[in-house]
Structure 1
């Protein structure tokens, strides 16, 4: 498991702020919010990420029966706070087998959600047809939130995206058939709020989905 920050868009090395640049720098993408090393899932890790996040930390709540929290990733640093947060969970799929869900909240241009979605653009806008009715809806922090299907993603996953609390919300589901989970209008809690005690969140093994886009 890597131990240094990388570019959330390409997984390349990043240079820490200093002369001549005051921001984290990727040789390919310029100024970026660095993706921090992924830590094993646990209540303390989830609480720490939630305290530092500048964007929502979404988790289906209550979790579906048999589902567990399986890890969190964040892009940003201690000075700027988390500008993108990805929360993974997994459990029994609606059509059998194991389903995995990754929820990403991020500011425009960060690129973390697109990397997990398997796209080569930082934001989902060009892959959404918002002229059509949304394919699914969620209740994000109690607010009705439309999500549109994201085109161009690999066939092994289903990807939806929309806006919630002023930033992008991505939902990436593996395998593609487990997208049925999203059609039940899931309730998403922002773990920065006091409504969910993270000590009560069941934890499983670290999801390989959090690590795969940056594996070397």
Structure 2
């Protein structure tokens, strides 16, 4: 686990705002929204991320049968708020074996989704062929949301991306064949609107995917 903020694009160390810069700085990427330390999953961790977030905190709700919430990440500081969120869920894959799903919501240029997707960032548009019909549609915040399959991703995962509520939405699934999960009628809830229902979220062990 990380004990201090890091760069959302590369995971490298970041320098806090100071005399010569009013934003967090990565030696490689310049000004960034810092990725906050990741803590074990639980209602408290989820509440902190939700309270900070300026973007949706997406989670399949209800969760697929046998699936658990297994981690949350947030990029941004207390001054600017969370400008990207990532929620990890884990459970049985549609073809058997374990599956992992990361849902990332982020503002333009943050780069957290591209990092988890394993592609050059910061945004998904160069990896999507939006001239073709989207293979996947989810219901995000009550709105039908098309997602396109990203090209050029590592072979161990399937990556889908699109726009929801004017922000990027990434869905990164391990292993690749577990991407079949996205072809079901997935309903995504923004946990900022969940209220007391967050106490009902079933929690599992921390996913190593959200630490990568």
TM-score by length of 2: 0.98
* Unaligned residue ranges in structure 2 (runs of 5+): none
Q: Distance in 2 between matches of 1:7 and 1:51?
A: 21
Paired residue secondary structure (1:169)? strand
Partner of residue 194, structure 2? 194
Q: Distance in 1 between matches of 2:20 and 2:192?
A: 35
Aligned residue runs from structure 1 range 98-113, under 5 A: 98-113=98-113
Shift of 1:96: 0.3
Partner of residue 160, structure 1? 160
Matched, 1:174 2:152: no
Deviations 1:166-200 (A, max 9, x none): 10000000000011110012000000013671110
Does structure 2 conserve the Cα–Cα contact (< 8 Å) formed by 1:7 and 1:34? yes
Aligned residue runs from structure 1 range 137-152, under 5 A: 137-152=137-152
TM-aligned CA distance change 1:65 to 1:196, over 3 Å: farther
Partner of residue 4, structure 2? 4
Q: Distance in 2 between matches of 1:195 and 1:20?
A: 40
Q: Distance in 2 between matches of 1:48 and 1:116?
A: 21
Q: Distance in 2 between matches of 1:161 and 1:194?
A: 23
Partner of residue 127, structure 1? 127
Shift of 1:47: 1.3
Partner of residue 13, structure 2? 13
Q: Distance in 1 between matches of 2:45 and 2:7?
A: 21
Deviations 1:63-116 (A, max 9, x none): 011000000001001111000000000101100000110000000100000000
- Report how many residues are paired: 212
Partner of residue 206, structure 2? 206
Deviations 1:17-59 (A, max 9, x none): 1111100011111100001110100011111111110000000
* Unaligned residue ranges in structure 1 (runs of 5+): none
Q: Distance in 1 between matches of 2:110 and 2:136?
A: 24
* Deviates most, 167-176 or 186-195: 186-195
* Deviates most, 54-63 or 40-49: 40-49
Q: Distance in 1 between matches of 2:193 and 2:118?
A: 30
TM-score by length of 1: 0.96
Aligned residue runs from structure 1 range 19-58, under 5 A: 19-58=19-58
Q: Distance in 1 between matches of 2:183 and 2:201?
A: 23
